[in-house]
A and B are shown apart, each in its own frame.
Chain A
Amino acid sequence: MTIQTTHADVPSSTFSEGRTLSPAQLAWHRACRHPGLIAGTSFIVLIALLAIFAPVLAPHNPYAQEVSQQFLDPIWGEGGSWTHVFGTDALGRDVLSRLIYGARISLTVAFLAASAAAVIGTAIGMLGGYYGGRVDAVVMYMITCKLALPGLVVTLSLISIFGSSMIVLVLALAFLFWDRYAVITRTVTMQLRAREFVVAAQALGYSKARIIISEILPNLYSHIIVILTLEMAIAILVEAALSFLGLGVQPPTPSWGNMVAEGRAEMLFLPHLVAIPGLAIFLLVIAINLMGDGLRDVTSPDGR
């Protein structure tokens, strides 16, 4: 693994006017000139707004079935009209509206899963990194065992046992993603442990819990946010795959994964029913990855 340096290591850079910037200001300064980060973040904000204001923005009720309206062409098709821009599906439901509502599921599940994994992984990683010795050996052992298990098969089993409610979905995905946080926070904590501010806190007689939470954790935030972003992208893909397999979000709730699954039967004649939700997943994941890579660039000390 590459050695990650932390916020605390960023030398306060001086710009031409001789002003000294804090690490956060420096990151902000770089972010404003990072096209990938700006493009990715803007797209995510757009999708997030669509998801939040879905009831206002969606042209139709995503659940409303209209048998007489089934398989209407999208706007570029022969019988296309502005009433149903992306046409309708097998049950006569408006595809655009389902797509907008589907964004809610994708973003919520992915964000909650990546966050839950962050809490679990960071706790484990910090413990191993700070205490070292036997505790660390146990942590390393847990990580290796996790890596050896076939993650997707385990996740599928967990969901099939506990049912595919939102909470199960989030926790099962969190199980899949905690290890990367643990690996990185463990390494960084090890590096931080020897630093002056931690030694000073120890000399002041702070408890270990206090040192971990108030001295070390704040230095991990920039790493955690970068991993969180990149894991969210993977979580969206996995959630979509689970829905596609029928073990994710259950119909009739629209999710991009089960829209692909539902469109599959008519794929030959109505390819847009499969193509559109898949493209939506693809674009959102690209945007999140752009944002994650951008965040890593602007928060890393050399600002690559």
Chain B
Amino acid sequence: MFQLFMRRAIVAVLMLATVSVLAFSLLRLSGNLAAELAGNNATQEQIEEVARSYGLDRPFVVQYFDWLGAAVRGDLGRSLFSGEPVAEIIASGLPVTARLAVFSVLLIMLIAIPLGVIAATRPNSWADRLTLTIAAFGQAIPNFWLGLMLILVFGLYLGWTPISGQSTWQHYILPVITVSLSSLPATMRLTRAGMIDVLGSDYIRMARAKGLPQRVVLYKHALRNAILPVVSVLMVTFGHILSGTVVVETVFSLNGLGYEVFNAILRADFPVVQTVVAFLSCVYMLLTLFSDLINAKLDPRIALN
């Protein structure tokens, strides 16, 4: 277990270095960030002035290590647009996005796992068909459009829910539904496939032969093994939701991380963009590391490999 952790941690540090370089180069790819910041009508002198004041005239490597060094010491830079520290921007946006992601993952678990189990135990039943239909819908509905339709029906026509903002828990109902539906199919299919796989195995037949009740066979023997890949996929889903809320946050006017980074992208606000990209990659890596460790804990065979 410890060895696995060390091995994974070393790879994670290496990846963090690579990803931070990529994040750092992202807005610099155009070749001339200073010209972009100075605007369309800027003279050559003004562009040079901008480059000097932001330190963009220094060599790329120097700029990178300067940024990285400051970041390691806890200084994530400041927004070019508002002058606000990037750390504060992340701190103000993250809770909203994290709430959205946590609620969505909970909803996904509540719906996908039971439906997946029922669908697997009764192939071709109504539950199975319902599962596959929900999966097909979830994969095909454009999430920005689903958000707008939910706003229209539940917010405007029926008036049951607020339609924008983030002040109460009710504000999260529609965004959470929107996010969950598009992330639901993967978990549901995996639970269903995993259960079908496990239910066909010898030890389940053995458990049934011993005369154990269906409930015990399903939830104690089968689900425990089928749940392993589901745990990983839920972690990955959580990571994807955290980094993919740009669209949903725009539709529901949530001031989360996605909204902040989208505005920063539009303004070429590179300190914000590079730091948020690096931050999200970091979170994703931690999540996958965590899910590997959970899996190793749940299934000792993994740790041995």
Chain A residues near B (Cβ < 8 Å) = 141, 144-145, 147-154, 156-158, 160-162, 233, 237, 240-241, 244-245, 257, 260, 264, 267-268, 271, 274-275, 278, 281-282, 285-286, 289
Contacts and interface: CB of A to CB of B under 8 A. Distances in A.
A163 to B, nearest CB: 9
A267 B247 contact: no
A153 B148 contact: no
A267 B143 CA distance: 16
Interface string B9-36: 0010011001100110011011000001
Contacts of A289: 136, 139-140
Nearest to A36: B136
A160 B265 contact: yes
B102 to A, nearest CB: 18
Interface string B61-88: 0000000000000000000000000000
A145 B22 contact: yes
B183 interface: no
Nearest to A285: B140
A157 B268 CA distance: 8
Interface of B: 11, 14-15, 18-19, 22-23, 26-27, 29-30, 36, 136-137, 139-145, 148-149, 151-152, 156, 243-244, 246-247, 250, 258, 261-262, 265-266, 268, 273, 276-277, 280-281, 284-285, 288
User: Binding site of A, secondary structure by majority: helix, strand, loop or mixed?
Assistant: helix
B96 to A, nearest CB: 16
25 contacts: A144-B15, A145-B18, A149-B22, A149-B280, A152-B244, A152-B246, A153-B261, A153-B265, A153-B277, A154-B26, A157-B265, A157-B277, A160-B265, A161-B30, A237-B142, A244-B247, A257-B144, A260-B142, A267-B156, A274-B145, A274-B148, A278-B148, A282-B142, A285-B140, A286-B136
B145 A245 contact: no
Contacts of B284: 147-148, 150
Given A281-B142, A289-B139, A162 B18 contact: no
